């Protein structure tokens, strides 16, 4: 029975991702954020519980990737698609406009102009298939992890929904969304080493990059609050591209 506990948690990740998609397409962006937050917690918890119970398996690894494909592959694609659709429809009132009125989100229908958003789902799928076979990614990542890609898209969604600093219209711009889609589609399958968040003990040595990044992330959260997430991901990418971690050969 205990062998199935991590798998059950993984399925909760999948449930949360599916719920997030429904809420995104319905224009319920704050609810979608919390479902994505839950998906991230379940994604972290399934591996932790599997290690604690000593029940890690190849079956669980594959199941985890399938759930991640929905929560961190399909979900960001739906976010980009929805934001592009709203933008091309002329924009809409953000969830927390000045009068606190609910958003008036246009119906999301098929649009070739928004279709490039689906590239993120496609390249997330390629990344997850590659990850399961890549023996280099035990300590650090090669290419951007799907949760990082999803966090960036989620941050854009929050900026649109909550309109911090009056930036809501900016994240509907094709000049923001198309480059973001192309950049993350590339980074998901790139060979750029990226540091993971596995802390090596409680010492500064060996954790310098992670600690510096954590401090910068906290500062961004303090100063930018709900607008911080895309900038946190941007700092993460800059640190990795300027000073990539060392990865061992397969």
Separation CA 92–CA 28 (nearest Å): 13
Whether the pLDDT of residue 99 is over 50: the answer is: no
Whether the pLDDT of residue 249 is over 60: the answer is: no
Mean local confidence (pLDDT), 102-119 = 82
Mean local confidence (pLDDT), 232-238 = 95
Structural domain includes residue 210: yes
**Higher-pLDDT residue of 131, 15:** 15
**Higher-pLDDT residue of 49, 132:** 49
Q: CA angle, 218 as apex, 214 and 220 as ends, to 5°?
A: 115
pLDDT band at residue 101, thresholds of 50, 70 and 90? very low
Looking up residue 233, the CATH number of its domain turns out to be: 1.20.120
Structural domain includes residue 249: no
Instruction: Give the per-residue pLDDT at 248.
Output: 47
Whether the pLDDT of residue 134 is over 80: the answer is: no
Whether the pLDDT of residue 198 is over 90: the answer is: no
pLDDT band at residue 106, thresholds of 50, 70 and 90? low
Reduced to 3 states (helix: H, G, I; strand: E, B; else coil), residue 141 is strand
Whether the pLDDT of residue 15 is over 60: the answer is: yes
Half-sphere exposure of 12 (CA within 13 A, CB side): 16
Instruction: Give the per-residue pLDDT at 135.
Output: 66
Separation CA 105–CA 108 (nearest Å): 8
The proportion of the chain whose per-residue pLDDT surpasses 90, expressed as a percent, equals 64
Structural domain includes residue 172: yes
Whether the pLDDT of residue 250 is over 70: the answer is: no
- DSSP β-bridge partners for residue 193: 142
Q: What's the residue count for the chain?
A: 250
Whether the pLDDT of residue 223 is over 90: the answer is: yes
**What is the H or E stretch that residue 194 is in?**
strand 193-194
Q: In the chain, how many domains are there? A: 1
Whether the pLDDT of residue 212 is over 70: the answer is: yes
What would you measure as the largest C-alpha separation in the chain, in angstroms?
56
Segments forming the whole domain that contains residue 224: 2-242
Mean local confidence (pLDDT), 158-179 = 95
Structural domain includes residue 196: yes
Structural domain includes residue 68: yes
Whether the pLDDT of residue 105 is over 90: the answer is: no
Mean pLDDT of the chain: 87
């Amino acid at each position: 029975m205990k062998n199935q506990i991590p798998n059950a948690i993984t399925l909760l990740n999948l449930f949360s991702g599916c719920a997030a998609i429904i809420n995104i397409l319905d224009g319920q962006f704050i609810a979608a954020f919390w479902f994505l937050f839950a998906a991230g917690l379940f994604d972290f918890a399934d591996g932790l519980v599997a290690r604690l119970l000593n029940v890690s398996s190849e079956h669980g690894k594959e199941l985890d990737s399938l759930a991640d494909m929905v929560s961190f592959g399909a979900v960001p694609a739906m976010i980009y698609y929805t934001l592009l659709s709203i933008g091309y429809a002329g924009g809409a009132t953000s969830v927390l406009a000045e009068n606190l009125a609910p958003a008036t989100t246009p119906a999301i229908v098929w649009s070739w102009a928004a279709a490039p958003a689906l590239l993120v789902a496609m390249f997330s799928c390629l990344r997850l298939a590659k990850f399961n076979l890549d023996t280099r990614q035990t300590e650090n990542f090669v290419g951007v992890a799907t949760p990082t890609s999803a966090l960036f898209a989620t941050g854009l969604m929050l900026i649109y929904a909550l309109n911090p600093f009056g930036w809501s219209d900016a994240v509907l711009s094709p000049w923001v969304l198309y480059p973001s889609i192309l950049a993350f589609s590339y980074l998901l399958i790139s060979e750029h080493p990226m540091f993971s968040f596995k802390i090596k003990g409680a010492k500064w040595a060996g954790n310098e990059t992670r600690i510096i990044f954590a401090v910068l992330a906290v500062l961004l959260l303090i100063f930018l609050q709900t607008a911080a997430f895309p900038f946190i991901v941007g700092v993460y990418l800059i640190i990795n591209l300027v000073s990539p971690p060392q990865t061992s050969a397969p």
